[in-house]
């Protein structure tokens, strides 16, 4: 029963993120578009998994960033240096996850493009 409630809470979190977080919607769009691309590329299963997992990682970090922002906003909307720092750290984490994903996609797909020409 506990697992069912946890799954339900997780689903609610995903739905809320989709409805309220434009960055999450953009990253979900990338996931929906790029996952089939990854699955049809002539690469190993491990490479396909790395590409898809890199996209999932971006969404995971975005959810954590949104969690930090919600907690900070719950405390106060008033400007505070520590609140700004916490939000900036979360934003930086998303940026680094996007960089990891881009590097993986480039390193795996670039040789395919070079071999095609």
Q: 28-58 pLDDT, tens per residue? A: 999 999 999 999 999 999 999 999 999 999 9
- The whole domain housing 89 covers 22-116
Q: What is the C-alpha separation between 104 and 92, in angstroms, rounded?
A: 18
What CATH number does residue 54 fall under?
Answer: 1.10.287.3610
pLDDT digits (tens, 9 = 90+) for 69-106: 999 999 998 999 999 999 999 999 999 999 999 999 99
pLDDT score at 87 = 97
Domain presence at residue 17: no
Confidence of residue 116 (pLDDT cuts 50, 70, 90): confident
Q: What is the C-alpha separation between 58 and 48, in angstroms, rounded?
A: 16
pLDDT score at 117 = 75
CA trace torsion 89, 29, 63, 50 (10° rounding): -80
Domain presence at residue 50: yes
62 catalytic? Reply is: yes
Domain presence at residue 12: no
Domain presence at residue 27: yes
Please count the structural domains in the chain. 1
Q: What is the C-alpha separation between 86 and 42, in angstroms, rounded?
A: 41
Which residue of the set 20, 21, 47, 62 is catalytic? 62
């Amino acid at each position: 029963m506990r697992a069912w409630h946890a799954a339900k809470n997780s689903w609610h979190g995903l739905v809320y993120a989709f409805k309220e977080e434009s960055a999450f919607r953009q990253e979900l769009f990338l996931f929906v578009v790029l996952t089939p691309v990854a699955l049809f590329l002539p690469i190993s299963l491990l490479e396909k998994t790395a590409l898809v997992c890199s996209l999932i990682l971006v969404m995971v970090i975005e959810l954590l960033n949104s969690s930090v922002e919600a907690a900070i906003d719950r405390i106060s909307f008033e400007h505070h240096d520590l609140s700004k720092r916490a939000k900036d750290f979360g934003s930086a984490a998303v940026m680094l996850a996007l960089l990891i994903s881009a590097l993986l996609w480039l390193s795996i797909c670039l040789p395919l493009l070079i071999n095609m020409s």
